[in-house]
Structure formats: structure tokens, C-alpha cells
Chain A
């Protein structure tokens, strides 16, 4: 009896032991900074001077009245909706097409995945040139097709800039969800297709009756991933527009970065970061339970 227990203890110790490196890293690099951010949000600090001025909840009250922050949050929400509406259907469509094509289409799997492999900064610089209203590829193509009237000031017009940037982000992320769905599709048992074939199902019925229902758990997961990703998005927006012009493409993360590092308001930046943490965690949890209930 005693021997068994000690064996179990050893077993648990072993688990803990091998988890320890990961736990310590997560603690040092993720949990601790989050706590520090919340702590910093109560100070007025420029990020340099040794003394921080304690201001209590002033930063949080300022944040509640900060129109730019609410505007940025609004943009984040718009961004979530756009990503879901654009990315998911296209990704599913591509995944289904590539899956049906079988081995012949393998080359397209790699080709379509390319945008995901490029660094966001490189994509940002690339598209800055593509969108250039004078020399840009996009304006060039429109001119060539005699569609000049469609040519826009893609990144400079506050009304359009946001959609221009979102289009690029979707282009970058569709391959990710595509691969995700291809993996899910390959898990669908071949027998289902064979049974459907005997019943005389059409291609459309394959999709609506077999693939889509069996994909739905993956789609839910993908939606949560997209939701969280959209809420904390930063890089391409920063490279392409820095949140401008006139805050038109500002997201919470770009605003946080600018407050903390450009305006020397480290305390306020930490407040935005903490607010983001609260918003994203809440949204993630809500989305998780919302999709779980449906499953039951």
C-alpha cells in the first residue's frame, strides 16, 4: 500500500518536474508582466524617471472618457466582424475545393499558404507600394482596365484606409484557416462519402450534408481564434498606417503602443493594455461558452 502511494507521489512529482520549465517560463514572461501592467496602470510614469507618481484610478477614469480608445475598440469590433465574414467562408471554400481535388491540387496548398509564411512587416511594406496612388500596382491595374474611376486614395483616405488594411490582413490569414479546415476535412471518414454516393448525393449535398456539419466544431474554434486575434491585432496596421490617418485605422493595440512609447505615457499605456486583457479574456470566455452550449 505504502509502496503504491510513494510510486504515485513520484509519478506526480515527475509530471510537475517536466512541467516546471514551461510553468516557470509562463510565470516569468506572461503572468508576471500582466500583474506588473495592472500595477503600473495606477501610476503616472513616463517610462524613464526613477520616480512614479501614484494616481490611483485616474488613468482608468481617463480611459473611460477617452474617445480615441472607444473609437479604437469600435474599430476592433468592426475588424472582428469583417474577418469572420470574409475569412471564414473563403477559407472553407478553398479548403473544400482543395480537399476534393486530392493529390493534383497539392501544389495549390503550398501556393495558397505562402502569404502566411511571409513576415507581416514585409507584407506591410509590399502593400504600401501596391496601394501607392501614383506608382502602385493596384492603381496601375485599374488604369489598364480603364476603371480609373475606381482608383482610390487607398491608405490616405480616412474613410477607406481601414478597409484597405483589413483586406490585406484577410489575405494574410485566410491560408491559416484554410489549412486548419483542410486538416479537419481529412478527418472525415471516407465511408460517409461512399454511403452518400450510393444514395446518389450531388456535389452540393456533399458539402451541405456532410462536410459543413462535420466541420462545424473546427469552424467554432477558428472563429474564437479569429475573434481573439482581431482584438489584439497590431503589426500590419502599424506598418501600413500607424493607426492613421487621423486615427482612422487605430486599434487598441496600436493606441496602446503609441501612448506608451511615442507619448511617454507608460502608466496610461499599461492601463490600455490591462483594459485589453480584460476585454479579450471576457470575449474569449463568452465565445467559448456560447459555442459550447450549442454543441450540447
Chain B
């Protein structure tokens, strides 16, 4: 009996050791080469039911035309994706194709040698000319193109409830003074002028960015961020901070904005219910609102560009955001870069463009016509914009972007003065670039 126990023990040990060996041995190859199919792993962040299906359909068309390939499509939640991608890249488990917004965080991956240079593919047969020129800004680094523009334009605009404006006979403001006047009128009627969900900090930043742009033009920020003659302690930044805090003090924003969450729709609900009249937000809100509250989208929703500031140097046609909101990049670890690029092309070919417009996006492709007047209006605005400045939190290196977002949230919370805020940002920028 005792001997039997020993035998069991030894067998257990052997099995355990064997399983360990199996766990630690690289088995990925064994799976992917089975049956001669080649695998492309593709991560994206379109998680709503309609969008997810749309992308899957586009990928399916690629797989049908290329029978040797199997694409594993992995839709991920926005914030989970950012962390997951970072860990995957750091531990050499990267997907073959991934979504990106370009700019500072993306260039970290480019600098780390994780992203494939696709300039050659983009120039083949003039493929590049298919896209709006402005869409290449956030993905061009060292004069090379690192990703394909695919998903719709995302620029920040002031959305408002038409119904409320009609009911109280209010006019869409074109200047900042008119805008302030509008806020006062709305307040007098007992309506919260502006909805804002600032827990994640970037929604509030959009206000600050526009104020800086309208006051000083896009170059003020660019010079400060590039450290070529500019400074974040420039009077323009201080002035923008003052104007921002002025809005907070006059009660323009909804109560509790610093604790509300955009991702769970807490700011949009205020618009739907008519409790708040306006919200400054990116155009990605179009498909979301269309899906969440179709009636509101069709009857009550409209938008206007950020008003001009008297004496400000920024052109009122300037926009903040990007001509394309989501780009797709190929990693250097991808075994079939050419085919991966081909797969991305299926996401934005003519059929895909049709599907994307129906979904509510404005593809970054030249010469489009829209049946939805809202989309046509946005497209026209982007086409005639003097500048489309990339979101600062994507433009800046990630470390500075986090500092910047924290500072602006504190400005909103009135826990820091505009002057101290500007100096704090300048100090952070100096510390960062000195290295």
C-alpha cells in the first residue's frame, strides 16, 4: 500500500514536470501552421454591435478573396486596449494589425521599432491619393507613413439641442461674446448651458484647446510642444485658463462635471433629457447618438463650430481633432505585412466607405457625397478648415499629456490658478525635453 503511494507520488511529479515543459515551450507555431492557413491577428476598438459586425464583414471579404489567410479579429474596449497593447508590445506578443490615433503615444511604438514603415505600400499605384491630405499628419513621422487612415473624421464641435434653442428663440453664436450671452440666457431659463463629463479629463481639455486656438492660433501650442521658441507659460495659455475658469464660475457647466463619466453616457443623458443645452464633443458621437437615441438624433440634434474670439489670432474655421479618427498600423513582428496591408485596404475600399457612411462615419476619403445632412455639414467644415489641430493629448508625449490633462482638470476644479497652471505645464515640458 505504501509502495503504491510512492508510485502515485512519482507519477504525479512526472506529469507535473511534463505539463510545465509544455506550458513553457513555444506552441504558437504548432497552431498557426496547421493546415497551411496563415494567420493575421487584428485588434480594434469598435465594440458597439453595428460597428463590430461592419468590421467583421469587411474582414470576411478579405478572407474570401484570399483563401490562404485567416484573420483573428479581436474587438477591445478603448481603455483596456491601451493597456493591453502596451503590455503586448513590451513582451513581444504584439498583434499583426492594430488600431491607433497616431501622435505621441503612437510614435513611442514607432521609435521602439514596433511598427512597420508602410510608405512603399501607400505610394503603390498612388493609393495615398485616395485620402484627404490632412489625414496623414498624426501618422507621419520622419517623413514616413506608419498607418492607414480608415475610420471617420473626429473633430470637436459644439452639439446643441435644436428644440431648446427654438423654444426660447435663441440664436447659434458665432462670437464668444454671443456665446457668453447665450449661456446667461439659458441659465435664466433654468437650463444647464453645457454638459460635460470630465472624469477622464480629455473632454474638459477640448474646451481649453479651443480657447487657446481661437486666442492665439494653432502655432502657439505647436511651438510650445515642439520647444521651438514657444512656452507653455505664454500669456495665451494663461488667458485661456482665465476664460475657462470664468465659464466655471458663471455656472456654465453641469454640476458635478469632474465626477461624470463620458464612457457611460452621463453627459449625453443630459442632452437627451433636455436638462442641458450644449456639449463640446468629437464627431464620433454621431454613430453613438444615432444608436442610443435615434429620435433625438433626427429631430433635436445640431451643431456649430467653436465661436470666434474677438481680437484672437486663431481663424474661426480652425478645428481641433483629426481628419481621420482611427488609423490601422502593421507591426514589425507581422509575418505577412503585405497581406496585412491588403486586409486593411478592405476596411476602407469603396464597399467599406459605403458601409461606414451608413454607420454614421465620415471616411477620410476624397470627394464624398452624403445623404445624411449632418454628415455632409461636418464634411464641408473639415474640407474648408484652415487647420485641423491634433488633440493635444495625442500630440504630446504620453508623460506630458498626463500632466497636461491633470492640470486642466484642476483648472476646471478651480484648485489651481491659470498662471500657476501655465507655469506648472512649462516646468513639466522643460523637465521632459531636457533629457
For the complex, give the distance between the alpha carbons of A47 and B109 in Å. 10
Contact A46 B108 (CB under 8 A): yes
B258 touches A156 (CB 8 A): yes
Chain A residues touching B, range:
35 or more
Are A49 and B111 in contact, CB atoms less than 8 angstroms apart? yes
Shortest CB–CB separation between residue A292 and chain B, in angstroms? 37
Quick one: which of A129, A241, A246, A264 contacts B398, CB cutoff 8 A? A264
- Is A29's CB within 8 Å of the partner chain B? no
Q: Which of A213-261 contact B (CB under 8 A)?
A: 241-242, 244-247, 258, 261
The reply to whether B259 and A155 contact each other, CB–CB distance below 8 Å, is yes
Q: Do A156 and B409 have beta carbons less than 8 Å apart?
A: no
Q: Is the CB of A128 within 8 A of B266?
A: yes
Tell me the complex Cα distance, A135–B16, Å: 55
Interface residue? A14 (CB, 8 A): yes
Residues of chain A within 8 A (CB-CB) of B266 are 128-129, 132
**In the assembled complex, which residues on chain A have CB atoms less than 8 Å from the CB atom of B289?**
none
0/1 string, A128-155, CB within 8 A of B gives 1 = 1101111100000000000000000111
Complexed CA–CA distance, A51 and B269 (Å): 47
A118 within 8 A of B: no
A68 nearest in chain B by CB position: B406
* Residue of B with least CB distance to A258: B402
Bitwise, B69-95 to A at CB < 8 A (1) or not (0) is: 000000000000011001101100000
CA distance A129 to B197 in the complex (A): 13
Distance between Cα atoms of A49 and B114 in the complex (Å): 8
- Given known A-B contacts A48-B112, A158-B415, A241-B199, A134 and B275 have beta carbons under 8 A apart: yes
Which DSSP category, helix, strand, loop or mixed, fits chain B's interface? helix
Chain A residue numbers with a CB within 8 Å of B86 are: 47-48, 261, 264
Nearest CB to that of A266 among chain B residues?
B90
Q: What are the residues of chain A within 8 A of B416 when measuring CB–CB? A: 246
| A128 and B112 alpha carbons, distance in the complex (Å) | 38
Q: Are B259 and A131 in contact, CB atoms less than 8 angstroms apart?
A: yes
> Given A128-B266, A261-B82, A262-B398, is A156 in contact with B90 using a C-beta cutoff of 8 Å?
no
- In chain A, what residue has the closest Cβ to B257? A156
A244–B411 CA distance with the chains assembled, in angstroms = 13
In the complex, what residues of A have CB within 8 A of residue B258's CB?
153, 155-158, 244-246
Interchain CB contact under 8 A, A135 and B256? no
When C-beta atoms are compared, the residue in chain B nearest to A259 turns out to be B402
Beta-carbon contact of A242 and B199 below 8 Å = yes
Nearest-neighbor residue (CB-CB) of A132 within chain B: B266
Q: Determine the residue in chain A with the shortest Cβ distance to B270.
A: A134
Contact with A along B401-419 (1 / 0, CB 8 A): 1100010011011011000
Please indicate the chain A residues that have their CB under 8 angstroms from the CB of B269 in the complex.
134-135
Does A24 sit within 8 A of B, measured CB to CB? yes
Asked whether A24 lies within 8 Å of B20 as measured between CB atoms, the reply is yes
What's the least CB distance linking A267 to chain B, in Å? 12
- Interchain nearest-CB distance for B287 vs A (Å): 22
Q: Provide the B2-35 mask, 1 if CB < 8 A to any CB of A, else 0.
A: 0001100100110010001000000000000000
B398 and A133 contact, CB distance less than 8 A: no
Contact of A17 among B9, B109, B114, B273 (CB under 8 A): B9
Within 8 A of A (CB), among B180-210: 198-201
B259 engages A50 (CB within 8 Å): no
Contacts of B430 in A (CB 8 A): none
Most A CB atoms within 10 A — which of B109, B273, B399, B416?
Answer: B399
Of listed A131, A157, A245, residue having the most chain B CB within 10 A: A245
Distance in angstroms between the alpha carbons of A14 and B13 in the assembled complex: 10
- Whole-angstrom CA separation of A17 from B111 in the bound complex: 47
Q: Which of A240-296 contact B (CB under 8 A)?
A: 241-242, 244-247, 258, 261-266
Report B-chain residues with C-beta under 8 Å of the C-beta of A262: 82, 398, 402
Cα–Cα distance between A244 and B407 once the two chains are bound (Å): 11
Q: Are A128 and B261 in contact (CB under 8 A)?
A: yes
The answer to whether B200 touches A246 (Cβ under 8 A) is no
- Please indicate the chain A residues that have their CB under 8 angstroms from the CB of B257 in the complex: 156
What residues of B have a CB within 8 angstroms of the CB of A131 in the complex? 259
Q: How far is the CA of A18 from the CA of B16 in the complex (A)?
A: 10
Query: Does A167 make an interface contact (CB < 8 A)?
Result: no
- Quick check: is B264 within 8 A (CB to CB) of the other chain? yes
B260 at the A/B interface (Cβ < 8 Å)? Answer: yes
The docked-state distance in angstroms from the alpha carbon of A238 to that of B410 is: 18
A20 lies within 8 A of B256 (CB):
no
User: Does A10 interact with chain B (Cβ within 8 Å)?
Assistant: yes
Q: How far is the CA of A140 from the CA of B367 in the complex (A)?
A: 51
Once A21-B16, A153-B256 are accepted as A-B contacts, the answer to whether A46 and B270 lie under 8 Å apart by CB is no
Interface pair A264/B399, CB less than 8 Å apart: yes
Q: In residues 104-118 of chain B, which contact A (Cβ within 8 Å)?
A: 105, 108-109, 111-114
Please report the C-alpha to C-alpha distance between residue A244 and residue B409 in the assembled complex, in whole angstroms. Answer: 9
> For residue B412, which residues in chain A have a CB less than 8 angstroms away from its CB?
245
A125 touches B (CB below 8 Å): yes
Contact with B along A106-136 (1 / 0, CB 8 A): 0000000000000000000100110111110
Q: Please report the C-alpha to C-alpha distance between residue A242 and residue B405 in the assembled complex, in whole angstroms.
A: 13
Nearest residue (CB) in B for A10 is B6
Give bound CA distance, A247 to B424, whole Å: 15
Verify A133–B112 contact, CB threshold 8 A.
no
Partner of A241, one of B82, B259, B275: B259
A265 touches B256 (CB 8 A): no
**Contact at B399–A50, with CB atoms within 8 Å?**
no
The answer on a CB contact under 8 Å between B199 and A155 is yes
Q: Are A246 and B406 in contact (CB under 8 A)?
A: yes
Taking CB atoms, residues of chain A closer than 8 Å to B261 are 128
Given known contacts A241-B259, A265-B399, A48 and B254 CB-to-CB distance under 8 angstroms: no
Q: How far is the CB of B411 from chain A (nearest CB, A)?
A: 9
Find chain A residues with CB under 8 A from B260 CB: 132, 155-156
* B380-428 with Cβ < 8 A to chain A: 397-399, 401-402, 406, 409-410, 412-413, 415-416
Closest chain B CB from A100 CB (angstroms): 41
Residues of A within 8 A of B (CB): 10, 14, 17-18, 20-21, 24, 46-50, 125, 128-129, 131-135, 153-158, 161, 241-242, 244-247, 258, 261-266
Closest 5 CB pairs of A and B: A155-B259, A156-B259, A133-B256, A49-B112, A245-B258
Give me 8 other A-B pairs in contact (C-beta within 8 A), A246-B258, A246-B416, A264-B86 excluded: A48-B109, A133-B254, A134-B256, A134-B275, A155-B199, A244-B201, A244-B406, A246-B406
- Return 11 A-B CB contacts under 8 Å, by A number: A47-B87, A49-B108, A50-B112, A128-B261, A132-B260, A153-B255, A153-B258, A153-B259, A245-B410, A246-B410, A261-B86
